[in-house]
Amino acid sequence: MEWKSPEYSKNQIIKAGKIIKNSASKSEECQMALNAIDNWRASHAFPLQVIYCNLKRKYDKPGFIVAQRLKRLASIVKKLEREPTMNLWTMQDLGGCRVIVPTIDDVYEVAENYNHSRVRHILKREYDYIKQPKYSGYRSYHLVYQYQSDTKETYNRNMLIEIQIRTYLQHLWATALETMGLFTNQALKASHGKKNTLRFFALIASLFAMKENMPIVPETPIDIEGIISEIKMLDAKHNYLGMLSAIRVAVDHEEEKNSKRRGYYILILNYSKRNLRMKFYKPSQIDDATKEYNQIESSRDNNKIDAVLVSVSSFGTLKAAYPNYFSDINAFVTAVNEIIKK
């Protein structure tokens, strides 16, 4: 295949990031900025492929999963908006590799082996979010490398590739969090959203950490009974586990039935019946969808329901962008239930 090469200077790339996150930018400026961002992101594909292939050769074995992805444009823009000091030139995860392993020991073995391998790339940063979990509950081991080639200078331009190494249990938590965020329109991955939802996932992260004999998330109970008690209380009130299960079932059914249908959906979760109904609206019916959604929202407490309005793109792109979600959601729910119901 023909790999994209960088066509813009460092200053042009930084400027493009500033323009795209500024709501006051003119449309002409935005289009020029998008062109620069698209090229800079696409140019990471070759360095990413090199590192991915190296990891794949080493860890293509049972129980290990190696994957790669270029960061989505929407995620790039949100990150620039969310972090004022961030600029596009130094964004470390435009290209990302993920290694999912069976055990904690495997995490550290992979990190150690890669750091001491014969790769020419330059280790820029290293984060251990397993021994020091984030307050959100996120746990993983990160290595950030600057791509370096002795034979071809084209990509020796601060091309940063992030390698995430995590256990399957840590992966279940991360994908469930992002799924919940997507379908409830909350930036849970960035620790923005409803307080109870964020707390629920932080508690489960501590539950999983205890299972792996690793440090728990800050500001969560230090005993497993306290963690389980709070998880059960929050789930009884908000039905998070039921919602995740219902989303998976409903999305599988809806995509099979209407994979090419464009428009909007209202997802209506009934807490007492533990099921999820979906109402479809064509793109031209957005006003009707909004009115219906507002009406449902106003009656949610009396009818013991929760609802969310999503565009069809959330269904159409979810399996393409996150194919693992559709097996991992149920695995996450099962893993939690197995622990809290003992």
- Average pLDDT of span 73-97: 89
Q: Report the pLDDT value the prediction gives residue 244, as an integer from 0 to 100.
A: 85
Better pLDDT: 341 or 227 = 227
Per the DSSP assignment, residues forming a β-bridge with 125 are 144
Segment 39-59, tens digit of pLDDT: 999 899 899 989 998 999 999
Provide the pLDDT for residue 120.
Answer: 87
pLDDT digits (tens, 9 = 90+) for 247-284: 766 555 554 555 456 667 676 766 555 556 777 788 77
Q: Which amino acid is at 26?
A: K
Give the CA angle between residues 321, 128, 58 to the nearest 5°: 60
Query: How would residue 314 be classed by pLDDT, with cut points 50, 70 and 90?
Result: very low
* DSSP code string of 22-76: -TT--HHHHHHHHHHHHHHHHTTHHHHHHHHHHHHHHH-STT-EEEEEEPPHHHH
Across the chain, mean pLDDT equals 84
- Convert 206-263 into a string of H (helix), E (strand) and C (coil): HHHHHHCCCCCCCCCCCCHHHHHHHHHHHHHHHCHHHHHHHHHHHHHHHHHHCCCCCC
- Long-range (24+ apart) CB contacts under 8 A made by 230-235 are 230/199, 230/203, 231/200, 231/203, 231/204, 231/207, 231/336, 231/340, 232/340, 234/196, 234/199, 234/200, 234/203, 235/200
d(CA 99, CA 65): 6
Phi and psi of 8, rounded to 5°? -125, 155
Nearest to 250 by CA among 225, 233, 224, 270: 270
Q: Decide which of 156 and 184 is more confident.
A: 156
Per-residue confidence (pLDDT) for residue 88, from 0 to 100: 95
Query: Is the model's pLDDT at 28 over the cut of 80?
Result: yes
Flag whether pLDDT at 82 surpasses 60.
yes
Q: Residue 209: what pLDDT?
A: 98
Q: Which domains does the chain have, with CATH numbers?
A: 44-168 (3.30.460.10), 240-340 (no CATH)
Q: Say how far apart CA 30 and CA 17 lie, in whole Å.
A: 10
Q: pLDDT per residue over 197-247, tens digit each?
A: 999 999 999 999 999 999 999 999 999 999 999 999 999 999 899 888 877
Annotated catalytic residues are 162
Percent of the chain scoring above 70 in pLDDT:
81
Tens digit of pLDDT for each residue in 90-141?
999 999 999 999 999 999 999 999 999 888 899 999 999 999 999 999 999 9
pTM above 0.85, yes or no: no
User: What 3-state DSSP class applies to 122?
Assistant: strand
Residue 129 or residue 285, greater confidence: 129
pLDDT(165) > 90: yes
Q: What pLDDT does 317 receive?
A: 43
Structure tokens that stand for 109 in this block: 């073995």
Q: What are phi and psi of 95, to 5 degrees?
A: -115, 130
Name the residue with higher pLDDT: 316 or 104: 104
| pLDDT band, very low/low/confident/very high, at 320 (cuts 50, 70, 90) | very low
The values of phi and psi at residue 265, to 5°, are -125, 140
Q: Is 79 helix (H, G, I), strand (E, B) or coil?
A: helix
Would you give the DSSP letter of residue 87? -
